[in-house]
Amino acid sequence: MSSQARGRRAFRFILPALLCMLFVHVIPIFWGAYIAFIDLDIYTITRWMQAPFVGLRNFFTVFSPTTDVGVRYLRSIWNVVYFGLVTIPAGYLIGLLVALLLNRKFFGRTLVRGLILLPYITPDSVAYNVWRFIFQARIGIVNKYLLALGLIKEPIIWLVGDRAIYAVMIASVWKGWPFACLVLLAGLQSIPQELYEAAKIDGASSFGLFRFVTFPMLRPVSATLLLLSAIWNFHAFNQFYILLGADPGKAHVPSTFILQEAFTNFHFGQGAAMSVFLTVVVLLMTVVILRVRRRGEEW
Amino acid sequence: MVRRTLRGILGRVLFGLAIFLVLAGVLIPYLWMVSGSFKTTLEIQSADVLKPELSPRWFPRKFTWENYLRVNRTVRMLDYFRNSIIISVGTMVFSVGISLFAAYALSRFAFSWKRTYTLAVLSTQMFPGISFLIPYFMMFVLIKHYLGLPMQNTYWGMIFTYTSFALPFSILMLRNFLDSIPREIDEQAQIDGCTPTGALFRVILPLAKPGIAAVGIYSFIMAWNEVLFATVLTGRETKTVALGLLEYITAQQARWAGMMAACILVSIPVLVLFSLMQRYIIEGLVAGATKG
């Protein structure tokens, strides 16, 4: 079979998947880039070809620290970065510690491993609604125990204002660490036992075993895990939308803010401009991760 | 000798304590959810952390099944369940069908654009949903405007959307699964006179059942859980359970007890399906994060 014929045969099999990708991913990405350059609102949406071309104006507006939209968008970007800087290391560290615990053999290990997966497989809508209940000021258990321990005198309003982002962080770490744990546990179990035995013969302490065997062997897995988490961090939406509502105020992240600007205030053009920026950031990070992975294969 | 056993015992106690702490951290929200689902709305509303006699409790003062029996009273939860089941089952069927063909081609055929395509599939997983949402919504509006075909707030619109979301991961997971089935098996079938499509259906399909089940369950769960696109693309007739849960809390009333009961009902299908295929889905997810 010629290579052309082979290509055609594969094409026939992949065609339905290609069409889905075309309509849901490829066309919207390019179309979104176009919308970012026009002044599109609810009145012009069905006559979008006639919407006025405004060049880079949407981008200037959403990045300007002098417009209301600009201030809030810049804050939402900072929020998602801050959110990632806290939740990714926290999730990774908890995941690593628990993975090290679970890497030993003990009675009931399978059960424990199954139970810690619960947060990861519980639907976001369920998990974050429960956390919303937990964080309620007067009827929630967080304030109940903080008061009982004497750490606060008055119940804290968790889900509105400056503290909101921390409540979301706590709930997200709770939901996210099991995935890190799972990946790291798989990484731990692929380390050959001989390495540990050899290190023991050389007189390594248990900290030495971690420092010179476990840690370096987990490096490639950790690098991809952390990079992927950094990319997926920009997807953050569910936890903010569910815990804080459609308008998280000061705790907006880009996804919630763009949703509000586009579908509540009908600024589709500006919304698209904000989305394009996110797309570019994620694209750059993806290039980095592909580079790292290729290097990982050479190790 | 005594010292060593003492250290051993101390180590074990500390280890047990650590495991206990981890489990407590994981399980406390679930206990709170279950406990809330059996409380009366009155009990939750009148709770007050400042007054010791009204402080929220773990055990309901008055145990009730009301929240489960009347889950549909204030929020049309049963309608949302029906919508979610239709959309999720539809997504499962199409995702399995489409990904099976694509994965078979990727696993068995040699062609020049294989690497490019695999990379493209992988990279669609990286972009946040919000990158597509605005133009995708416009596409729905324009299809309705020019072709007269309603897409927004329809089952097929949602099934198409979620199928496309589920495909990248489904294709890659199924390809890995098919790679583990020896090539000789379908080569032999083709020598015996099967076409590639015939070999796929007669020989590979029966062997790939676990992989297909895992992909189907993954797609079902994905559609069941999605929030962002559902907020824009669903309406009164197609609203899914993930959004329906939010309706228990309105500006006028907070029905936490009803919401907790609904939360449990919404989780059950996901937990049951997941535990059926746990091994395969987890292997796939871990491979997705480490190998790609």
Is the dihedral angle over the CA atoms B153, B155, B160, B165 positive or is it negative? positive
Two structure tokens written together for A34: 């176009």
Domain residue ranges in chain A: 72-298
Look at residue B288 in the predicted model and tell me its pLDDT: 63
| Residues B25, A278: Cα–Cα separation, whole Å | 34
Is A263 in Cβ contact with B135 (below 8 Å)?
A: no
Is the dihedral angle over the CA atoms A234, A235, A240, A241 positive or is it negative? positive
Look at residue B291 in the predicted model and tell me its pLDDT: 55
Range(s) of the domain holding residue B37: 2-66
The structural architecture, per CATH, of the domain A72-298 is Orthogonal Bundle (1.10)
Distance between B271 CA and the closest CA of chain A, angstroms: 7
Strand (E) positions, chain A? Answer: none
| Closest residue by Cα to residue B227 from A273, A236, A75 | A236
Same domain, yes or no: B140 and B233 = yes
Q: Which residues from chain B sit within 8 angstroms of residue A13, using beta carbons? A: 101-102, 104-105, 109
CB A82 within 8 A of CB A165: yes
| Residues B188, A288: Cα–Cα separation, whole Å | 42
Of B47, B66, B85, which one is at a domain's C-terminal end? B66
User: Which one-letter amino acid corresponds to residue B290?
Assistant: T
Same domain, yes or no: B58 and B77 = no
Higher pLDDT: A173 or B185? It is: A173
Q: How many domains in chain B?
A: 2
Percentage helix, strand, coil for chain B under 3-state DSSP, each rounded to 5 = 75, 0, 25
Of B30, B45, B66, which one is at a domain's C-terminal end? B66
CB A80 within 8 A of CB A254: yes
Q: Which residues from chain A sit within 8 angstroms of residue B95, using beta carbons? A: none
Same domain, yes or no: B21 and B96 = no
Distance between A253 CA and the closest CA of chain B, angstroms: 11
Same domain, yes or no: B115 and B198 = yes
* Residue of A4, A8, A11, A13 to mutate for B, most B C-beta atoms under 10 A: A13
Is A13 in Cβ contact with B104 (below 8 Å)?
A: yes
Report CA-CA distances (Å) from A150 to A29, A146, A174, A289, B101.
52, 6, 24, 46, 62
| Closest residue by Cα to residue B166 from B249, B92, B74 | B92
CB A69 within 8 A of CB A249: no
CB B190 within 8 A of CB B184: no
Of B66, B83, B109, which one is at a domain's C-terminal end? B66
Look at residue A280 in the predicted model and tell me its pLDDT: 95
- Cα-atom radius of gyration of chain B, to the nearest Å? 25
CB A107 within 8 A of CB B12: no
CB A21 within 8 A of CB B172: no
Is A174 in Cβ contact with B101 (below 8 Å)?
A: no
DSSP state for residue A108 in the 8-state scheme? T
Same domain, yes or no: B176 and B81 = yes
User: Could you report the per-residue pLDDT of B131-173, keeping only the tens digit for each?
Assistant: 999 999 999 988 998 899 999 999 999 999 999 999 999 999 9
Within a 13 Å sphere around the CA of B39, how many CA atoms are in the beta-carbon half? 25
Look at residue A299 in the predicted model and tell me its pLDDT: 35
CB pairs under 8 A between A and B: 275
Report CA-CA distances (Å) from A227 to A217, A230, A282, A296, B237.
17, 5, 11, 13, 40
A285 interfacial to chain B (CB closer than 8 Å): yes
Same domain, yes or no: B26 and B96 = no
Is A187 in Cβ contact with B136 (below 8 Å)?
A: no
User: Which one-letter amino acid corresponds to residue B110?
Assistant: A
* Residue of A4, A14, A145 to mutate for B, most B C-beta atoms under 10 A: A14
DSSP state for residue B158 in the 8-state scheme? H
Average pLDDT value for chain B? 90
| Residues A276, B16: Cα–Cα separation, whole Å | 50
Complex ipTM: 0.91
| DSSP structure string for A39-87 | ---TTTGGGGGGSPB-TTHHHHHHH-TTSHHHHHHHHHHHHHHHHHHHH
Look at residue B289 in the predicted model and tell me its pLDDT: 60
Is A228 in Cβ contact with B120 (below 8 Å)?
A: no
Two structure tokens written together for B6: 């003492």
Is A139 in Cβ contact with B47 (below 8 Å)?
A: yes
Same domain, yes or no: B116 and B23 = no
| Residues A229, A84: Cα–Cα separation, whole Å | 8
What are phi and psi for residue A64, nearest 5 degrees?
-80, 125
Residues 258-287 of chain B with CB under 8 A from chain A are 259-260, 263, 266-267, 270-271, 274, 278, 282, 285-286
Whole-structure pTM value: 0.92
A152 interfacial to chain B (CB closer than 8 Å): no
Same domain, yes or no: B49 and B111 = no
Same domain, yes or no: B154 and B32 = no
What residues contact residue A56 under an 8 Å CB cut-off, 6+ apart?
A: A37
Same domain, yes or no: B220 and B282 = yes
Residues 156-175 of chain A with CB under 8 A from chain B are 174
Same domain, yes or no: B151 and B116 = yes
Two structure tokens written together for B121: 């599939």
User: Tens digit of pLDDT per residue, chain A (299 long)?
Assistant: 677 888 888 899 999 999 999 999 999 999 999 999 998 877 777 777 778 888 899 999 999 999 999 999 999 999 999 999 999 999 999 999 999 999 988 888 889 988 999 999 999 999 999 999 999 988 999 999 999 898 988 888 999 988 999 999 999 999 999 999 999 998 998 889 888 889 888 888 888 888 888 989 999 889 889 999 999 999 999 999 999 999 999 999 999 999 999 999 999 999 999 999 999 999 999 888 778 777 655 43
Two structure tokens written together for B282: 């987890």
User: Could you report the per-residue pLDDT of B93-134, keeping only the tens digit for each?
Assistant: 999 999 999 999 999 888 889 999 998 998 898 999 999 999
Is B15 in Cβ contact with A101 (below 8 Å)?
A: yes
Is A112 in Cβ contact with B22 (below 8 Å)?
A: yes
Same domain, yes or no: B257 and B286 = yes
| Residues B292, A292: Cα–Cα separation, whole Å | 13
Look at residue B261 in the predicted model and tell me its pLDDT: 96
Strand (E) positions, chain B? Answer: none
**Look-up: residue for tokens 């907790």?**
B260
